[in-house]
C-alpha cells in the first residue's frame, strides 16, 4: 500500500524527492550543530553544578572524575560557614533597590510617553548618558562621600547606588512598555470622565504589568551580580554574595567543590529570574529597542 | 529602519485636550521629577567631586600634604606608561571580546532561527552563561577550567590522551596566554547577549522576502549577503554598541583571573584606576584618570548615541 503510493508519487513528480531529503538531511545537521553548541556553552555551568555535588578529593582529579559519588556536603558546609548573612544582604540590596527603581521609573516613564513633557527626547538621552559613563570614575568620589556620611558597610548605601545604576535601564524599558498602551482606550477613558487613578488602574496597569515584572527582574539581576562597589564599600556587616565568593578562596588546600557549590548557590536566583523572563530579557538588555 | 523600531510607524497623536498652559506643564513634569532629581544627585554630584579631586595632590599615605596640583595629575596620566598600557589593553580586551562574541552570537542566532525539536531548551541552555554571576563565572574559569593540574581543560586533554594514546601537554593557560584567557571567559559570558539581540533581528525579518529570493533562485549565501545582512545591520550596531559599553567596564574577570598580570599584560583601565585608588592611594591621580576616561567615553558615546537616536526618530510624539 505505502509502496504503491510512494511509487505513484515518485512517478508523478520524479524530481521532487531527492532534493527534499537533501534539505531535510541538511536541516538535521543544523539541528545537531545547534545541540552541540548548546552543550559546549552549557558545559562549564554543568561542570560547576556537578563539581559542587562531589567531595573535594573527587573534584580535584586529573583526568576529571565524572562519575564520583554525589553528596550535598559542600552545601551543608556553606551554610555552616555562614553564607546566610551574605545572601540576606544581597537579597535586601537587590530587592529594595528594584522596588525603589520601579517606584521612580514608572511615573517618570509615564511622563515621557503617555503624557509627555516637552523635550522628552533630551530627558531620555540624559538618562541614557549617565549609564554610558564608566562607573569606575564614580568609585572614588562615592567612596569618599559615603565615608564622610558614615555610611560605609551599610546595605542602604548599596540600595541607593544600585537604584541609580538601574534607573536609566528601567526608564527606557518601562517607556517602551507604556507606549504599547492603546491611545484610543486612554482617550475613551478620558472622555468617559475617568480620573487619573482609575485610568492608571484599569487601562495602563493591565497592559504594563508584564513589562513591570520584566523590568523588575532585569534590575534584580544587575544588582544581585554587582561586585565593584559591593567589595569596596562594604566590610563585614553589609557584604553581599559576590564578596563572599572572593573572600572564600583565600585559604590553601582543596576548595574547588566548595567554591563550585557557592558559585552555584549564588547564581541560582539569577538563573531562575533570567530563565523566567527569557522572552523579555532581550528587550531589557537592549533598553527596550528590540522586541 | 523598521528593523529596530518594530512597532507600527503610524504613531497616534498625543493626548492633549487643550494647549498645555503653565500649570498643565508642571503637572506633566511632576511624575518625572523624583527620578530626575535622584539621578542628578547620585551621578552628577560624584562626578563634580572627581573633577575637584583631580586638581589636588592627595595621597592618604602622606597626610597633611594635601594641596593644589594644577594639571599635574593630568600630566602624570598622559605620560605614565602604566595608564597607556591600560588604555591599549582596554581597547584590545573590548574589541576582541565584542567581535568574537558577535560572530559566534550571529552563528548561534542563525542556528536558532529555524524551528526544530528542542529549540526552546537549546536557547535556554545557551542563555545560561550570561546569567551566571560574573564573579562566579570568573572564579569558575580560573579554578575549575584553567587550573593546570586539575582544571577541566587540561583534564579533558589528558583524558583524551589516555584514550587515544598520546601524552597530553600540561598547559599553564593563564600565565602563557593571559589576555586570551580573560577574553575567552568574557566571550563565553557575552555571546548569549549578542545572540539574543541578533535572534530578535532575524525573527523580525519578513519571510516573504526570503521566499521571494529563493523563488528567484538566490542561493543561501546570496540571500544572506544581500537580504539578511542589510536587515541585520541595525541590530549588529546595537549589539556592538551595548556590548562595548558593558565590556569596557570589565572588572570582575581581570580582578579574579589575572589580577591584571603578568606585569601589566591584562590591566585594563577600570582595574588600573582601582589599583591607583586602593593600592597606591593616589586619589588625585585616580580622579584625573577617571576624568580622562569619562571624556573618552563621552566622545565614543556621542557616536553611539547617534545610532540609538534613530530609534526615537520615528516617533512624532510632542
Nearest to B150 among A62, A141, A164 (CB): A62
Search chain A and give the residue with CA nearest B307.
A289
Residue A260 confidence (pLDDT): 92
A23: nearest Cα among B114, B117, B119, B110: B114
Contact A259 B156 (CB under 8 A): no
CATH of the domain at B117: 1.10.3720.10
Residue A9 pLDDT greater than 50, yes or no: no
Residue A16 confidence (pLDDT): 47
Residue B317 confidence (pLDDT): 37
Contact B128 A42 (CB under 8 A): yes
Neighbours of A35 (CB within 10 A): 17
Residue A125 has φ and ψ, to the nearest 5°, of -70, -30
| Strands B56-57 and B67-68, bridge-based pairing | antiparallel
Mutate which of B29, B50, B131 to test chain A, going by most A C-beta atoms within 10 A?
B131
Is the Cβ–Cβ distance between B200 and A291 less than 8 Å? yes
Contact A136 B249 (CB under 8 A): yes
Nearest to A225 among B133, B150, B191 (CB): B133
Average pLDDT score over residue span A169-181: 86
Between CA B204 and CA B209 the distance in angstroms is: 12
What is the secondary structure of A88-109 as a DSSP string?
A: HHHHHHHHHHHHHHHHHHHHHH
Residues A49-96: tens digit of each pLDDT: 999 998 887 887 777 888 888 888 889 888 888 889 999 999 999 999
Contact A145 B46 (CB under 8 A): yes
Share of chain A above pLDDT 70, in %: 90
ipTM value of the model?
0.84
Q: How far is B39 from chain A (nearest CA, A)?
A: 6
Residues A249-263: tens digit of each pLDDT: 765 667 888 899 999
Contacts of residue A111, defined as CB under 8 A and 6 or more positions apart, other chains included, come to A117, A120, B28, B29, B30, B31, B32
Residue A11 pLDDT greater than 50, yes or no: no
Search chain B and give the residue with CA nearest A291.
B200
Contact B200 A287 (CB under 8 A): no
Largest CA distance in chain A: 89
Is the Cβ–Cβ distance between B249 and A134 less than 8 Å? yes
Residue B227 confidence (pLDDT): 82
For residue B157, the enclosing domain spans 95-258
Specify the higher pLDDT residue, A100 or A127: A100
Residue A250 confidence (pLDDT): 61
Search chain A and give the residue with CA nearest B313.
A121
Average pLDDT score over residue span A103-110: 90
| A157 three-class SS | helix
Residue B244 confidence (pLDDT): 86
Judged by a CB distance cut-off of 8 A, whether residue B154 touches chain A is yes
Contacts of residue A12, defined as CB under 8 A and 6 or more positions apart, other chains included, come to none
Q: Which of B 18-47 lie inside 8 A of A, CB atoms?
A: 20, 25, 28-32, 34-36, 38-39, 42-47
Domain count, chain B: 1
Mutate which of A28, A35, A38, A131 to test chain B, going by most B C-beta atoms within 10 A?
A38
Overall pTM surpassing 0.80 (yes/no): yes
Mutate which of A35, A52, A133 to test chain B, going by most B C-beta atoms within 10 A?
A133
Classify A80-287 by CATH class: mainly alpha
Q: Domain extents for chain A? A: 13-73, 80-287
Ranges in chain B, pLDDT < 70: 1-20, 304-305, 307-318
What is the secondary structure of A185-239 as a DSSP string?
A: HHHHHHHTT--HHHHIIIIIHHHHHHHHHHHHHHHHHHHHH--HHHHHH--SSS-
Residues A211-231: tens digit of each pLDDT: 888 889 889 989 999 999 999
**Cα(first)–Cα(last) distance of chain A, in Å?**
49
Amino acid at each position: 500500500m505505502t509502496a504503491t503510493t510512494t511509487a505513484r508519487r515518485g512517478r508523478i513528480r520524479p524530481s521532487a524527492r531527492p532534493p527534499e531529503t537533501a534539505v531535510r538531511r541538511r536541516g538535521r545537521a543544523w539541528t545537531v550543530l545547534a545541540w552541540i553548541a548548546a552543550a559546549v556553552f552549557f558545559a562549564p555551568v554543568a561542570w560547576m553544578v556537578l563539581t559542587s555535588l562531589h567531595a573535594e578529593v573527587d573534584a580535584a582529579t586529573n583526568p576529571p572524575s565524572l562519575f564520583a559519588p554525589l553528596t550535598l556536603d559542600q552545601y551543608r558546609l556553606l551554610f555552616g560557614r555562614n553564607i546566610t548573612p551574605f545572601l540576606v544582604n544581597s537579597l535586601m540590596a537587590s530587592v529594595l533597590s528594584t522596588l525603589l527603581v520601579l517606584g521612580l521609573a514608572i511615573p517618570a516613564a509615564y511622563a515621557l510617553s503617555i503624557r509627555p513633557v516637552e523635550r522628552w527626547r533630551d530627558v531620555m538621552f540624559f538618562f541614557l548618558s549617565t549609564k554610558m559613563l564608566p562607573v569606575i570614575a564614580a568609585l572614588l568620589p562615592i567612596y569618599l562621600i559615603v565615608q564622610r556620611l558614615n555610611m560605609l558597610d551599610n546595605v542602604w548605601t548599596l540600595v541607593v547606588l544600585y537604584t541609580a545604576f538601574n534607573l536609566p535601564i528601567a526608564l527606557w524599558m518601562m517607556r517602551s512598555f507604556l507606549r504599547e498602551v492603546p491611545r484610543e482606550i486612554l482617550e475613551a477613558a478620558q472622555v468617559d470622565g475617568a480620573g487619573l487613578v482609575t485610568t492608571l488602574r484599569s487601562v495602563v496597569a493591565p497592559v504594563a504589568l508584564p513589562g513591570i515584572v520584566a523590568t523588575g527582574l532585569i534590575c534584580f539581576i544587575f544588582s544581585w551580580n554587582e561586585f565593584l562597589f559591593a567589595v569596596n564599600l562594604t566590610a563585614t556587616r553589609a557584604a553581599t554574595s559576590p564578596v563572599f565568593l572572593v573572600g572564600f578562596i583565600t585559604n590553601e588546600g582543596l576548595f574547588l567543590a566548595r567554591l563550585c557549590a557557592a558559585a552555584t548557590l549564588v547564581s541560582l536566583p539569577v538563573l531562575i529570574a533570567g530563565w523566567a523572563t527569557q522572552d523579555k530579557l532581550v528587550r531589557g538588555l537592549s533598553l527596550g529597542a528590540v522586541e | 529602519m523598521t528593523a529596530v523600531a518594530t512597532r507600527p510607524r503610524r504613531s497616534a497623536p498625543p493626548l492633549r485636550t487643550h494647549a498645555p498652559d503653565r500649570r498643565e506643564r508642571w503637572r506633566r513634569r511632576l511624575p518625572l521629577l523624583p527620578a530626575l532629581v535622584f539621578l542628578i544627585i547620585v551621578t552628577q554630584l560624584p562626578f563634580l567631586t572627581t573633577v575637584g579631586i583631580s586638581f589636588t595632590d592627595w595621597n592618604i599615605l602622606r597626610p597633611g600634604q594635601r594641596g593644589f596640583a594644577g594639571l599635574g595629575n593630568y600630566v602624570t596620566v598622559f605620560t605614565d606608561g602604566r595608564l597607556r598600557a591600560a588604555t591599549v589593553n582596554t581597547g584590545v580586551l573590548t574589541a576582541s571580546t565584542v567581535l568574537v562574541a558577535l560572530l559566534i552570537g550571529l552563528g548561534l542566532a542563525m542556528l536558532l532561527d529555524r524551528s526544530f525539536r528542542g529549540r526552546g531548551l537549546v536557547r535556554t541552555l545557551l542563555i545560561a552563561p550570561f546569567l551566571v554571576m560574573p564573579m562566579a563565572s570568573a572564579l569558575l574559569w580560573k579554578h575549575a577550567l584553567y587550573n593546570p593540574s586539575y582544571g577541566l581543560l587540561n583534564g579533558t586533554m589528558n583524558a583524551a590522551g589516555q584514550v587515544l594514546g598520546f601524552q597530553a601537554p600540561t598547559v599553564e593557560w593563564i600565565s602563557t596566554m593571559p589576555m586570551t584567557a580573560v577574553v575567552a571567559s568574557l566571550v563565553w559570558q557575552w555571546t548569549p547577549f549578542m545572540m539574543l539581540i541578533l535572534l530578535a533581528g532575524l525573527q523580525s525579518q519578513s519571510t516573504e522576502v526570503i521566499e521571494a529570493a529563493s523563488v528567484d533562485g538566490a542561493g543561501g549565501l546570496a540571500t544572506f549577503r544581500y537580504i539578511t545582512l542589510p536587515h541585520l545591520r541595525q541590530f549588529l550596531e546595537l549589539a556592538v554598541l551595548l556590548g562595548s559599553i558593558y565590556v569596557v567596564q570589565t572588572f570582575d574577570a581581570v580582578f579574579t583571573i589575572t589580577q591584571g598580570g603578568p606585569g601589566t599584560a591584562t590591566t585594563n583601565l577600570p582595574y588600573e584606576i582601582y589599583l591607583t585608588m586602593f593600592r597606591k592611594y593616589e586619589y588625585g591621580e585616580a580622579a584625573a584618570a577617571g576624568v580622562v576616561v569619562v571624556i573618552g567615553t563621552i566622545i565614543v558615546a556621542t557616536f553611539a548615541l547617534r545610532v540609538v537616536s534613530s530609534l526615537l526618530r520615528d516617533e512624532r510624539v510632542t
